[in-house]
């Protein structure tokens, strides 16, 4: 379902949107819709990232399981090599 909405832009931003739309041979509506979609997608990804971090922190506080930076770096250094290692086991 598509529904109309409105957005109030100051003259400067409206002019910038129009100029960009002209350069890209798109409508101002397309530019604004694309901008909103990209912003929302980015904001959702950030919220997922923060939620995952909170969940990981809660899991660590419950279990104490972790890897050190050195352990992770040592493992990552093998990526793409003939000696690529399996991920290390978490420990407390």
Q: What is the mean pLDDT of the chain?
A: 97
pLDDT band at 68 (very low <50, low <70, confident <90, very high): very high
Contacts of 75 (CB under 8 A, 6+ apart): 85, 87, 88
* pLDDT confidence of residue 49: 98
Is it the case that residue 88 has pLDDT exceeding 90? yes
pLDDT at 64: 97
Average pLDDT over residues 34-62: 98
- Give the residue-averaged pLDDT of 56-65: 97
Q: What is the pLDDT of residue 2?
A: 87
Q: Which residues of 38-77 are buried (b: 16+ CB within 10 A; e: fewer)?
A: eeeeeeeeeeeeeeeeeeeeeeeeeeeeeeeeeeeeeeee
* Confidence band, pLDDT 50/70/90 cuts, at residue 17: very high
């Amino acid at each position: 379902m598509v529904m109309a909405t409105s957005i109030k832009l100051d003259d400067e931003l409206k002019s910038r949107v129009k100029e960009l739309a002209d350069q890209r041979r798109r409508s101002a509506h397309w530019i604004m819709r694309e901008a909103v979609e990209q912003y929302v997608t980015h904001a959702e990804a950030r919220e997922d990232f923060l939620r995952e971090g909170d969940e990981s922190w809660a899991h660590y506080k419950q279990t104490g399981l972790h890897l050190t930076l050195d352990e992770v770096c040592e493992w990552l250094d093998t990526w793409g090599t003939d000696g690529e290692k399996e991920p290390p086991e978490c420990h407390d």
